[in-house]
Chains A and B, each alone.
Chain A
Protein backbone atom coordinates (compact mmCIF):
# COMPACT_ATOMS: atom_id res chain seq x y z
CA UNK A 1 0.00 0.00 0.00
CA UNK A 2 2.78 2.38 0.93
CA UNK A 3 4.63 1.55 -2.27
CA UNK A 4 1.45 2.13 -4.33
CA UNK A 5 0.91 5.45 -2.60
CA UNK A 6 4.49 6.40 -3.31
CA UNK A 7 4.13 5.54 -6.98
CA UNK A 8 0.90 7.54 -7.12
CA UNK A 9 2.64 10.47 -5.47
CA UNK A 10 5.55 10.20 -7.89
CA UNK A 11 3.16 10.14 -10.84
CA UNK A 12 1.42 13.24 -9.56
CA UNK A 13 4.69 15.02 -8.90
CA UNK A 14 5.89 14.13 -12.41
CA UNK A 15 2.64 15.37 -13.94
CA UNK A 16 2.76 18.61 -12.00
CA UNK A 17 6.38 19.22 -12.96
CA UNK A 18 5.49 18.70 -16.62
CA UNK A 19 2.53 21.07 -16.44
CA UNK A 20 4.73 23.66 -14.76
CA UNK A 21 7.28 23.19 -17.60
CA UNK A 22 9.90 22.56 -14.90
CA UNK A 23 12.62 20.65 -16.76
CA UNK A 24 14.92 20.43 -13.72
CA UNK A 25 12.23 18.96 -11.48
CA UNK A 26 11.22 16.47 -14.19
CA UNK A 27 14.81 15.27 -14.48
CA UNK A 28 15.27 15.14 -10.71
CA UNK A 29 12.15 12.99 -10.33
CA UNK A 30 13.30 10.61 -13.05
CA UNK A 31 16.76 10.32 -11.55
CA UNK A 32 15.11 9.32 -8.27
CA UNK A 33 13.12 6.62 -10.04
CA UNK A 34 15.90 5.24 -12.18
CA UNK A 35 16.93 2.72 -9.52
CA UNK A 36 13.36 1.44 -9.13
CA UNK A 37 12.13 1.27 -12.72
CA UNK A 38 13.62 0.10 -15.99
CA UNK A 39 13.72 2.64 -18.82
CA UNK A 40 10.90 0.83 -20.59
CA UNK A 41 8.78 0.87 -17.43
CA UNK A 42 9.43 4.57 -17.08
CA UNK A 43 8.20 5.20 -20.61
CA UNK A 44 5.18 2.92 -20.36
CA UNK A 45 4.11 3.55 -16.78
CA UNK A 46 5.11 7.14 -16.17
CA UNK A 47 5.80 9.21 -19.28
CA UNK A 48 3.09 7.98 -21.64
CA UNK A 49 0.34 7.97 -18.96
CA UNK A 50 1.33 11.51 -17.94
CA UNK A 51 1.09 12.74 -21.53
CA UNK A 52 -2.26 10.97 -21.88
CA UNK A 53 -3.60 12.76 -18.80
CA UNK A 54 -2.33 16.08 -20.15
CA UNK A 55 -4.01 15.40 -23.51
CA UNK A 56 -7.31 14.50 -21.85
CA UNK A 57 -7.16 17.60 -19.70
CA UNK A 58 -6.48 19.74 -22.77
CA UNK A 59 -9.52 18.30 -24.52
CA UNK A 60 -11.60 19.10 -21.43
CA UNK A 61 -10.26 22.66 -21.47
CA UNK A 62 -8.27 22.33 -18.25
CA UNK A 63 -4.75 22.74 -19.63
CA UNK A 64 -3.42 24.78 -22.53
CA UNK A 65 -1.88 23.88 -25.87
CA UNK A 66 1.31 25.56 -24.66
CA UNK A 67 1.51 23.08 -21.76
CA UNK A 68 0.77 20.12 -24.06
CA UNK A 69 3.46 21.24 -26.48
CA UNK A 70 6.15 22.00 -23.91
CA UNK A 71 5.50 18.88 -21.82
CA UNK A 72 5.70 16.76 -24.97
CA UNK A 73 9.00 18.33 -25.92
CA UNK A 74 10.42 17.75 -22.43
CA UNK A 75 9.40 14.09 -22.52
CA UNK A 76 10.87 13.70 -25.99
CA UNK A 77 14.19 15.11 -24.75
CA UNK A 78 14.14 12.71 -21.80
CA UNK A 79 13.50 9.68 -23.94
CA UNK A 80 16.17 10.75 -26.41
CA UNK A 81 18.85 11.50 -23.84
CA UNK A 82 18.22 9.87 -20.49
CA UNK A 83 16.56 6.70 -21.60
CA UNK A 84 18.10 5.60 -24.89
CA UNK A 85 17.68 1.94 -23.92
CA UNK A 86 13.91 2.26 -24.21
CA UNK A 87 14.23 2.94 -27.91
CA UNK A 88 15.80 -0.43 -28.51
CA UNK A 89 12.42 -2.00 -27.79
CA UNK A 90 10.93 -0.44 -30.89
CA UNK A 91 13.67 -1.16 -33.40
CA UNK A 92 11.75 -3.93 -35.12
CA UNK A 93 8.48 -2.04 -35.44
CA UNK A 94 6.86 -1.55 -38.86
CA UNK A 95 7.56 1.77 -40.54
CA UNK A 96 5.69 4.69 -39.01
CA UNK A 97 5.72 8.07 -40.74
CA UNK A 98 4.27 11.46 -39.94
CA UNK A 99 3.61 14.39 -42.25
CA UNK A 100 2.00 17.78 -42.56
CA UNK A 101 -0.05 17.54 -45.74
CA UNK A 102 -0.14 20.61 -48.00
CA UNK A 103 -0.38 22.84 -44.95
CA UNK A 104 1.95 25.38 -43.39
CA UNK A 105 1.13 24.75 -39.75
CA UNK A 106 3.70 22.49 -38.19
CA UNK A 107 2.90 22.64 -34.46
CA UNK A 108 0.43 19.73 -34.36
CA UNK A 109 2.82 17.41 -36.17
CA UNK A 110 5.63 18.42 -33.85
CA UNK A 111 3.47 17.61 -30.82
CA UNK A 112 2.46 14.20 -32.14
CA UNK A 113 6.05 13.41 -33.12
CA UNK A 114 7.26 14.34 -29.64
CA UNK A 115 4.58 12.20 -28.02
CA UNK A 116 5.37 9.17 -30.17
CA UNK A 117 9.08 9.57 -29.52
CA UNK A 118 8.28 9.84 -25.82
CA UNK A 119 6.45 6.55 -26.17
CA UNK A 120 9.62 5.01 -27.56
CA UNK A 121 8.48 4.78 -31.17
CA UNK A 122 10.78 5.40 -34.11
CA UNK A 123 9.00 7.76 -36.49
CA UNK A 124 10.04 9.01 -39.93
CA UNK A 125 9.31 12.71 -40.05
CA UNK A 126 8.37 13.75 -43.59
CA UNK A 127 7.83 17.37 -42.56
CA UNK A 128 5.65 19.45 -44.87
CA UNK A 129 4.87 17.53 -48.05
CA UNK A 130 2.46 17.58 -50.99
CA UNK A 131 0.19 14.74 -52.07
CA UNK A 132 2.36 13.45 -54.93
CA UNK A 133 5.51 13.22 -52.86
CA UNK A 134 3.72 11.80 -49.84
CA UNK A 135 2.13 8.98 -51.82
CA UNK A 136 5.40 8.16 -53.58
CA UNK A 137 7.35 8.09 -50.35
CA UNK A 138 4.81 6.02 -48.41
CA UNK A 139 4.76 3.38 -51.15
CA UNK A 140 8.55 3.40 -51.59
CA UNK A 141 9.28 3.11 -47.87
CA UNK A 142 6.47 0.60 -47.23
CA UNK A 143 4.97 2.74 -44.50
CA UNK A 144 2.57 0.73 -42.33
CA UNK A 145 1.16 3.58 -40.27
CA UNK A 146 0.88 7.10 -41.68
CA UNK A 147 0.00 9.98 -39.39
CA UNK A 148 -1.21 13.15 -41.14
CA UNK A 149 -1.51 16.46 -39.35
CA UNK A 150 -3.39 19.46 -40.76
CA UNK A 151 -4.80 22.75 -39.59
CA UNK A 152 -6.63 23.99 -42.67
CA UNK A 153 -9.82 22.43 -44.00
CA UNK A 154 -8.60 22.11 -47.63
CA UNK A 155 -5.61 20.12 -46.37
CA UNK A 156 -7.90 17.84 -44.37
CA UNK A 157 -10.00 17.20 -47.46
CA UNK A 158 -6.83 16.39 -49.40
CA UNK A 159 -6.37 13.26 -47.28
CA UNK A 160 -9.04 11.67 -49.46
CA UNK A 161 -6.81 12.04 -52.51
CA UNK A 162 -3.90 10.49 -50.59
CA UNK A 163 -6.02 7.46 -49.73
CA UNK A 164 -7.29 7.09 -53.29
CA UNK A 165 -3.79 7.39 -54.74
CA UNK A 166 -2.42 4.84 -52.28
CA UNK A 167 -5.27 2.46 -53.10
CA UNK A 168 -4.49 2.85 -56.78
CA UNK A 169 -0.87 2.00 -56.03
CA UNK A 170 -1.99 -1.12 -54.18
CA UNK A 171 -0.64 -0.02 -50.80
CA UNK A 172 -2.94 0.39 -47.83
CA UNK A 173 -1.28 1.75 -44.71
CA UNK A 174 -3.31 2.66 -41.67
CA UNK A 175 -3.92 6.42 -41.86
CA UNK A 176 -4.35 8.34 -38.63
CA UNK A 177 -5.39 11.98 -39.00
CA UNK A 178 -5.44 14.84 -36.55
CA UNK A 179 -5.88 18.59 -36.38
CA UNK A 180 -8.56 21.20 -35.88
CA UNK A 181 -10.84 20.33 -38.84
CA UNK A 182 -11.16 16.79 -37.55
CA UNK A 183 -11.88 17.97 -34.03
CA UNK A 184 -14.60 20.36 -35.19
CA UNK A 185 -16.24 17.83 -37.52
CA UNK A 186 -16.18 14.38 -35.95
CA UNK A 187 -17.30 12.67 -39.18
CA UNK A 188 -14.61 14.16 -41.36
CA UNK A 189 -11.93 11.50 -40.75
CA UNK A 190 -14.24 8.81 -42.11
CA UNK A 191 -15.27 10.96 -45.07
CA UNK A 192 -11.65 11.30 -46.20
CA UNK A 193 -10.91 7.60 -45.82
CA UNK A 194 -8.73 7.64 -42.70
CA UNK A 195 -8.65 4.68 -40.35
CA UNK A 196 -8.71 6.75 -37.18
CA UNK A 197 -8.42 10.28 -35.84
CA UNK A 198 -6.63 11.57 -32.79
CA UNK A 199 -8.23 14.39 -30.83
CA UNK A 200 -5.03 15.09 -28.95
CA UNK A 201 -1.36 14.37 -29.55
CA UNK A 202 -1.35 11.72 -26.84
CA UNK A 203 -4.08 9.74 -28.63
CA UNK A 204 -1.42 8.84 -31.17
CA UNK A 205 0.36 6.42 -28.85
CA UNK A 206 -2.78 4.39 -28.13
CA UNK A 207 -3.85 4.40 -31.78
CA UNK A 208 -0.43 3.36 -33.09
CA UNK A 209 -0.16 0.68 -30.40
CA UNK A 210 -3.58 -0.74 -31.25
CA UNK A 211 -2.80 -0.86 -34.99
CA UNK A 212 0.54 -2.54 -34.32
CA UNK A 213 -1.07 -5.10 -32.01
CA UNK A 214 -3.80 -5.81 -34.56
CA UNK A 215 -1.23 -6.42 -37.29
CA UNK A 216 1.10 -8.55 -35.13
Chain B
Protein backbone atom coordinates (compact mmCIF):
# COMPACT_ATOMS: atom_id res chain seq x y z
CA UNK B 1 0.00 0.00 0.00
CA UNK B 2 1.26 3.51 -0.82
CA UNK B 3 2.29 5.41 2.29
CA UNK B 4 -0.45 7.72 3.51
CA UNK B 5 -0.07 11.12 5.11
CA UNK B 6 -0.79 11.26 8.83
CA UNK B 7 -4.15 12.90 8.16
CA UNK B 8 -5.15 10.25 5.62
CA UNK B 9 -4.06 7.53 8.02
CA UNK B 10 -6.09 8.97 10.87
CA UNK B 11 -9.19 9.71 8.79
CA UNK B 12 -9.13 6.22 7.30
CA UNK B 13 -8.97 4.56 10.69
CA UNK B 14 -11.70 6.87 12.07
CA UNK B 15 -13.78 5.69 9.08
CA UNK B 16 -13.30 2.13 10.38
CA UNK B 17 -11.13 1.10 7.48
CA UNK B 18 -7.54 -0.10 7.55
CA UNK B 19 -5.02 2.59 6.53
CA UNK B 20 -1.39 1.83 5.57
CA UNK B 21 -0.50 1.38 9.23
CA UNK B 22 -1.93 1.96 12.68
CA UNK B 23 -1.65 5.68 13.50
CA UNK B 24 0.50 6.60 16.48
CA UNK B 25 -0.49 9.50 18.73
CA UNK B 26 2.55 9.86 20.95
CA UNK B 27 1.05 12.37 23.38
CA UNK B 28 4.13 14.03 24.81
CA UNK B 29 3.58 17.46 26.32
CA UNK B 30 6.80 18.06 28.27
CA UNK B 31 9.54 16.27 26.32
CA UNK B 32 9.80 19.18 23.88
CA UNK B 33 11.19 21.31 26.73
CA UNK B 34 13.99 18.83 27.29
CA UNK B 35 14.71 18.79 23.57
CA UNK B 36 15.01 22.58 23.60
CA UNK B 37 17.01 22.67 26.84
CA UNK B 38 14.36 24.68 28.67
CA UNK B 39 12.65 24.45 32.04
CA UNK B 40 8.98 23.46 31.84
CA UNK B 41 7.94 26.89 33.08
CA UNK B 42 9.95 28.69 30.39
CA UNK B 43 8.86 26.26 27.70
CA UNK B 44 5.15 26.78 28.32
CA UNK B 45 5.55 30.55 28.65
CA UNK B 46 6.21 30.93 24.92
CA UNK B 47 3.97 29.66 22.14
CA UNK B 48 6.90 29.38 19.73
CA UNK B 49 8.76 27.01 22.06
CA UNK B 50 5.77 24.68 22.33
CA UNK B 51 5.20 24.75 18.57
CA UNK B 52 8.86 24.00 17.94
CA UNK B 53 8.89 21.27 20.61
CA UNK B 54 5.82 19.57 19.13
CA UNK B 55 7.19 19.68 15.60
CA UNK B 56 10.49 18.18 16.72
CA UNK B 57 8.78 15.46 18.79
CA UNK B 58 6.50 14.45 15.91
CA UNK B 59 9.47 14.19 13.55
CA UNK B 60 11.65 12.31 15.98
CA UNK B 61 9.04 9.73 16.95
CA UNK B 62 7.04 9.64 13.70
CA UNK B 63 3.92 10.52 15.62
CA UNK B 64 0.80 11.16 13.57
CA UNK B 65 -0.30 14.29 15.38
CA UNK B 66 0.83 17.51 17.01
CA UNK B 67 -0.62 17.94 20.47
CA UNK B 68 -1.75 21.34 21.74
CA UNK B 69 -2.10 20.37 25.41
CA UNK B 70 0.20 22.55 27.52
CA UNK B 71 -1.00 21.29 30.93
CA UNK B 72 -4.50 20.50 32.20
CA UNK B 73 -4.45 23.25 34.84
CA UNK B 74 -4.11 25.87 32.10
CA UNK B 75 -7.87 26.19 31.80
CA UNK B 76 -8.34 26.95 35.47
CA UNK B 77 -5.51 29.48 35.15
CA UNK B 78 -7.65 31.20 32.52
CA UNK B 79 -10.49 31.33 35.08
CA UNK B 80 -8.20 33.08 37.54
CA UNK B 81 -7.14 30.01 39.49
CA UNK B 82 -3.67 29.37 40.87
CA UNK B 83 -1.25 27.17 38.95
CA UNK B 84 1.87 25.65 40.46
CA UNK B 85 4.74 24.71 38.16
CA UNK B 86 7.01 21.77 38.71
CA UNK B 87 10.48 20.97 37.35
CA UNK B 88 9.69 17.38 36.54
CA UNK B 89 5.96 17.05 35.91
CA UNK B 90 2.88 18.86 34.65
CA UNK B 91 1.78 22.08 36.34
CA UNK B 92 -0.95 21.55 38.90
CA UNK B 93 -3.97 23.57 39.93
CA UNK B 94 -3.42 25.17 43.34
CA UNK B 95 -6.06 26.02 45.91
CA UNK B 96 -9.66 25.80 44.66
CA UNK B 97 -10.91 29.07 43.17
CA UNK B 98 -14.49 28.54 44.38
CA UNK B 99 -15.16 27.86 48.05
CA UNK B 100 -18.81 28.77 48.57
CA UNK B 101 -21.90 27.87 46.52
CA UNK B 102 -22.94 31.52 46.29
CA UNK B 103 -19.75 32.32 44.39
CA UNK B 104 -21.10 30.26 41.50
CA UNK B 105 -24.14 32.52 41.10
CA UNK B 106 -21.94 35.41 40.04
CA UNK B 107 -19.28 33.35 38.28
CA UNK B 108 -18.43 34.35 34.75
CA UNK B 109 -16.40 32.32 32.30
CA UNK B 110 -13.29 33.97 30.90
CA UNK B 111 -13.51 35.43 27.40
CA UNK B 112 -11.32 33.20 25.27
CA UNK B 113 -10.16 36.02 23.01
CA UNK B 114 -8.85 38.19 25.85
CA UNK B 115 -7.18 35.50 27.98
CA UNK B 116 -3.37 35.68 27.71
CA UNK B 117 -2.86 32.03 28.65
CA UNK B 118 -5.48 30.73 26.23
CA UNK B 119 -4.10 33.10 23.61
CA UNK B 120 -0.70 31.46 24.02
CA UNK B 121 -2.18 28.06 23.18
CA UNK B 122 -4.00 29.50 20.17
CA UNK B 123 -0.77 31.10 18.97
CA UNK B 124 1.06 27.76 19.37
CA UNK B 125 -1.64 26.08 17.27
CA UNK B 126 -1.38 28.79 14.60
CA UNK B 127 2.40 28.34 14.46
CA UNK B 128 2.12 24.56 14.32
CA UNK B 129 -0.39 24.90 11.49
CA UNK B 130 1.79 27.35 9.60
CA UNK B 131 4.92 25.26 10.00
CA UNK B 132 3.48 21.79 9.37
CA UNK B 133 1.88 20.24 6.37
CA UNK B 134 -1.90 20.43 6.15
CA UNK B 135 -1.65 16.67 6.32
CA UNK B 136 -0.53 16.69 9.97
CA UNK B 137 -3.43 16.57 12.44
CA UNK B 138 -3.25 19.04 15.31
CA UNK B 139 -5.14 17.92 18.40
CA UNK B 140 -6.65 20.70 20.50
CA UNK B 141 -7.80 20.00 24.05
CA UNK B 142 -10.68 21.03 26.28
CA UNK B 143 -11.53 19.87 29.77
CA UNK B 144 -15.19 18.79 29.77
CA UNK B 145 -17.63 20.98 31.76
CA UNK B 146 -18.23 18.03 34.10
CA UNK B 147 -14.51 17.55 34.83
CA UNK B 148 -13.34 21.17 35.17
CA UNK B 149 -14.90 21.52 38.67
CA UNK B 150 -12.23 19.20 40.10
CA UNK B 151 -9.87 22.14 39.67
CA UNK B 152 -12.44 24.88 40.28
CA UNK B 153 -13.83 23.44 43.53
CA UNK B 154 -11.27 20.85 44.61
CA UNK B 155 -12.08 17.17 44.27
CA UNK B 156 -13.45 16.66 47.79
CA UNK B 157 -15.77 19.63 47.66
CA UNK B 158 -16.92 18.69 44.16
CA UNK B 159 -17.85 15.13 45.10
CA UNK B 160 -19.60 16.34 48.24
CA UNK B 161 -21.59 19.01 46.37
CA UNK B 162 -22.55 16.49 43.70
CA UNK B 163 -24.49 14.67 46.42
CA UNK B 164 -25.49 17.53 48.65
CA UNK B 165 -25.93 20.51 46.32
CA UNK B 166 -26.62 19.04 42.88
CA UNK B 167 -28.42 22.14 41.60
CA UNK B 168 -25.44 24.33 42.41
CA UNK B 169 -23.18 21.90 40.56
CA UNK B 170 -25.50 21.83 37.55
CA UNK B 171 -25.46 25.61 37.39
CA UNK B 172 -21.66 25.57 37.36
CA UNK B 173 -21.67 22.93 34.62
CA UNK B 174 -23.83 25.18 32.43
CA UNK B 175 -21.37 28.04 32.81
CA UNK B 176 -18.50 25.67 32.05
CA UNK B 177 -20.28 24.28 28.99
CA UNK B 178 -20.39 27.69 27.31
CA UNK B 179 -16.69 28.10 27.97
CA UNK B 180 -15.85 24.62 26.63
CA UNK B 181 -17.66 25.28 23.37
CA UNK B 182 -15.99 28.66 22.87
CA UNK B 183 -12.55 27.32 23.80
CA UNK B 184 -12.80 24.28 21.53
CA UNK B 185 -14.02 26.31 18.57
CA UNK B 186 -11.29 28.92 19.05
CA UNK B 187 -8.71 26.13 18.80
CA UNK B 188 -10.35 24.78 15.65
CA UNK B 189 -10.40 28.29 14.19
CA UNK B 190 -6.69 28.63 14.98
CA UNK B 191 -5.94 25.50 12.97
CA UNK B 192 -6.59 22.48 15.20
CA UNK B 193 -7.94 19.49 13.31
CA UNK B 194 -9.84 17.84 16.14
CA UNK B 195 -10.56 18.25 19.83
CA UNK B 196 -9.64 15.85 22.61
CA UNK B 197 -12.48 16.22 25.13
CA UNK B 198 -11.01 15.30 28.52
CA UNK B 199 -13.74 14.03 30.81
CA UNK B 200 -12.09 11.89 33.50
CA UNK B 201 -14.85 12.51 36.04
CA UNK B 202 -17.30 10.78 33.67
CA UNK B 203 -15.31 7.57 34.08
CA UNK B 204 -17.02 4.85 36.10
CA UNK B 205 -13.82 4.82 38.15
CA UNK B 206 -14.89 8.21 39.51
CA UNK B 207 -18.69 8.40 39.43
CA UNK B 208 -21.47 5.86 38.99
CA UNK B 209 -23.10 5.72 35.55
CA UNK B 210 -26.29 7.14 37.06
CA UNK B 211 -24.40 10.28 38.08
CA UNK B 212 -22.83 10.55 34.65
CA UNK B 213 -26.29 10.33 33.10
CA UNK B 214 -27.72 12.84 35.54
CA UNK B 215 -24.98 15.48 35.35
CA UNK B 216 -22.99 14.96 32.20
CA UNK B 217 -24.49 12.95 29.37
CA UNK B 218 -26.93 15.46 27.87
CA UNK B 219 -24.58 18.32 28.59
CA UNK B 220 -21.66 16.66 26.77
CA UNK B 221 -23.95 15.72 23.90
CA UNK B 222 -24.92 19.37 23.55
CA UNK B 223 -21.34 20.63 23.89
CA UNK B 224 -19.95 18.14 21.38
CA UNK B 225 -22.71 19.00 18.91
CA UNK B 226 -21.70 22.67 19.12
CA UNK B 227 -17.98 21.99 18.63
CA UNK B 228 -17.36 22.58 14.94
CA UNK B 229 -14.97 19.70 14.37
CA UNK B 230 -14.33 16.06 15.24
CA UNK B 231 -14.16 15.18 18.95
CA UNK B 232 -12.54 12.29 20.82
CA UNK B 233 -13.46 11.59 24.43
CA UNK B 234 -10.68 10.86 26.91
CA UNK B 235 -11.19 9.68 30.49
CA UNK B 236 -7.49 9.78 31.42
CA UNK B 237 -6.80 6.23 32.65
CA UNK B 238 -10.27 5.73 34.09
CA UNK B 239 -12.62 2.94 33.16
CA UNK B 240 -15.48 3.58 30.74
CA UNK B 241 -16.64 0.22 29.36
CA UNK B 242 -20.20 0.63 30.75
CA UNK B 243 -20.42 4.07 29.10
CA UNK B 244 -19.45 3.14 25.55
CA UNK B 245 -22.98 3.35 24.17
CA UNK B 246 -23.60 6.56 26.12
CA UNK B 247 -20.41 8.09 24.74
CA UNK B 248 -21.36 7.02 21.22
CA UNK B 249 -24.64 8.93 21.61
CA UNK B 250 -22.76 12.15 22.39
CA UNK B 251 -21.38 12.20 18.86
CA UNK B 252 -17.77 11.54 19.84
CA UNK B 253 -15.74 9.76 17.16
CA UNK B 254 -13.23 8.04 19.41
CA UNK B 255 -12.85 6.99 23.03
CA UNK B 256 -9.62 6.48 24.99
CA UNK B 257 -9.19 3.14 26.75
CA UNK B 258 -7.63 2.57 30.17
CA UNK B 259 -4.94 -0.03 30.74
CA UNK B 260 -7.33 -1.38 33.38
CA UNK B 261 -9.79 -2.45 30.70
CA UNK B 262 -9.83 -5.20 28.12
CA UNK B 263 -8.95 -3.44 24.88
CA UNK B 264 -10.04 -6.36 22.68
CA UNK B 265 -13.42 -6.54 24.38
CA UNK B 266 -13.86 -2.78 24.04
CA UNK B 267 -13.08 -3.11 20.33
CA UNK B 268 -15.68 -5.87 19.97
CA UNK B 269 -18.29 -3.68 21.61
CA UNK B 270 -17.79 -0.59 19.44
CA UNK B 271 -16.27 -1.90 16.20
CA UNK B 272 -17.59 0.09 13.26
CA UNK B 273 -19.24 2.70 15.49
CA UNK B 274 -16.59 4.41 17.63
CA UNK B 275 -12.82 4.32 17.23
CA UNK B 276 -10.53 3.57 20.17
CA UNK B 277 -7.38 5.26 21.37
CA UNK B 278 -4.96 3.62 23.74
CA UNK B 279 -3.85 1.95 25.84
CA UNK B 280 -0.13 1.81 26.63
CA UNK B 281 0.63 2.11 30.35
CA UNK B 282 2.38 5.49 30.69
CA UNK B 283 3.45 4.88 34.28
CA UNK B 284 5.08 1.51 33.64
CA UNK B 285 6.53 2.92 30.41
CA UNK B 286 9.11 4.77 32.51
CA UNK B 287 10.97 1.52 33.21
CA UNK B 288 10.22 -0.48 30.05
CA UNK B 289 13.11 -2.05 28.20
CA UNK B 290 13.00 -1.82 24.42
CA UNK B 291 11.73 -5.40 24.31
CA UNK B 292 8.97 -4.63 26.82
CA UNK B 293 7.95 -1.61 24.75
CA UNK B 294 7.69 -3.79 21.66
CA UNK B 295 5.66 -6.42 23.52
CA UNK B 296 3.24 -3.78 24.82
CA UNK B 297 2.82 -2.22 21.39
CA UNK B 298 2.18 -5.61 19.80
CA UNK B 299 -0.40 -6.50 22.44
CA UNK B 300 -2.35 -3.29 21.82
CA UNK B 301 -2.14 -3.64 18.04
CA UNK B 302 -3.33 -7.24 18.22
CA UNK B 303 -6.22 -6.35 20.51
CA UNK B 304 -7.64 -3.43 18.57
CA UNK B 305 -5.75 -2.93 15.31
CA UNK B 306 -7.52 -5.30 12.89
CA UNK B 307 -10.23 -3.58 10.87
CA UNK B 308 -9.07 -0.04 11.63
CA UNK B 309 -10.86 2.17 14.11
CA UNK B 310 -7.79 2.29 16.31
CA UNK B 311 -5.06 4.79 17.16
CA UNK B 312 -2.16 3.67 19.32
CA UNK B 313 -1.47 6.01 22.25
CA UNK B 314 -0.77 5.97 25.98
CA UNK B 315 -3.72 5.45 28.28
CA UNK B 316 -3.62 8.78 30.10
CA UNK B 317 -3.34 11.38 27.37
CA UNK B 318 -0.01 12.66 28.63
CA UNK B 319 3.20 10.64 28.69
CA UNK B 320 5.18 11.28 31.92
CA UNK B 321 8.29 13.42 31.63
CA UNK B 322 10.27 10.55 33.17
CA UNK B 323 9.76 8.24 30.16
CA UNK B 324 13.14 8.17 28.39
CA UNK B 325 13.70 8.95 24.73
CA UNK B 326 14.94 5.40 24.07
CA UNK B 327 11.55 4.03 25.13
CA UNK B 328 9.65 6.50 22.97
CA UNK B 329 11.84 5.52 20.04
CA UNK B 330 11.25 1.83 20.78
CA UNK B 331 7.49 2.40 20.74
CA UNK B 332 7.75 4.30 17.47
CA UNK B 333 9.90 1.60 15.87
CA UNK B 334 7.53 -1.13 17.05
CA UNK B 335 4.59 0.64 15.38
CA UNK B 336 6.56 0.97 12.16
CA UNK B 337 7.49 -2.70 12.31
CA UNK B 338 4.27 -4.31 13.53
CA UNK B 339 1.59 -1.74 12.73
CA UNK B 340 1.54 -2.04 8.92
CA UNK B 341 -1.72 -3.32 7.49
CA UNK B 342 -2.76 -5.97 6.90
CA UNK B 343 -1.88 -7.18 10.38
CA UNK B 344 -1.44 -10.78 9.25
CA UNK B 345 0.95 -11.53 12.09
CA UNK B 346 -1.92 -11.14 14.56
CA UNK B 347 -3.78 -14.22 13.33
CA UNK B 348 -0.52 -16.12 12.78
CA UNK B 349 0.53 -15.60 16.38
CA UNK B 350 -2.85 -16.58 17.86
Contact = CB atoms under 8 A, between A and B. Distances in A.
Interface of A: 21, 58, 61, 63-67, 69-70, 73, 103-107, 110, 152-155, 157, 180-181, 184-185, 187-188, 191
B208 A63 contact: yes
A120 B204 CA distance: 30
Given A61-B239, A152-B89, A154-B89, A66 B162 contact: yes
B94 interface: yes
In the complex, the 6 A-B pairs of residues with the closest C-beta atoms, listed nearest first: A184-B283, A154-B89, A107-B155, A104-B92, A185-B283, A154-B88
B84 interface: yes
Given A64-B207, A157-B322, A184 B156 contact: no
Given A65-B206, A67-B208, A107-B159, 18 more contacts: A21-B163, A61-B204, A61-B260, A64-B204, A66-B163, A66-B206, A70-B159, A70-B163, A106-B155, A107-B156, A152-B86, A153-B320, A180-B237, A180-B283, A181-B283, A185-B283, A187-B287, A188-B283
- Which of A154, A155, A157 neighbours the largest number of chain B CB atoms within 10 Å of its CB? A154
Contacts of A107: 155-156, 159
Interface residues of B, number: 35
A15 B142 CA distance: 37
Contacts of A58: 205
A20 to B, nearest CB: 10
A66 B322 contact: no
B251 interface: no
B33 to A, nearest CB: 14
A104 B162 contact: no
Nearest to A156: B283
Contacts of B112: none
- Give the dominant DSSP class at A's interface: helix
Contacts of A70: 159-160, 163
Given A61-B204, A64-B207, A64-B211, A106 B154 contact: yes
Interface string B315-349: 00000111000000000000000000000000000
Given A61-B204, A66-B162, A104-B92, A153 B211 contact: no
B160 to A, nearest CB: 7
- Give the dominant DSSP class at B's interface: loop
A184 B204 CA distance: 17
Contacts of A155: 89
Contacts of A152: 86, 89-90, 92
Contacts of A69: 156, 159
A21 B161 CA distance: 12
- Which of A106, A152, A153 neighbours the largest number of chain B CB atoms within 10 Å of its CB? A153
Given A104-B93, A153-B322, A184-B283, A61 B155 contact: no
B156 A64 contact: no
Interface string B249-287: 000000000011000000000000000000001111011
B156 A110 contact: yes
B86 A154 contact: yes
A150 to B, nearest CB: 11
A66 B284 contact: no
A132 to B, nearest CB: 16
- Which of B89, B93, B322 neighbours the largest number of chain A CB atoms within 10 Å of its CB? B89
Contacts of B205: 58, 61, 64-65
B207 A66 contact: yes
Nearest to B205: A65
Contacts of A185: 281, 283-284, 286-287
A181 B344 CA distance: 35
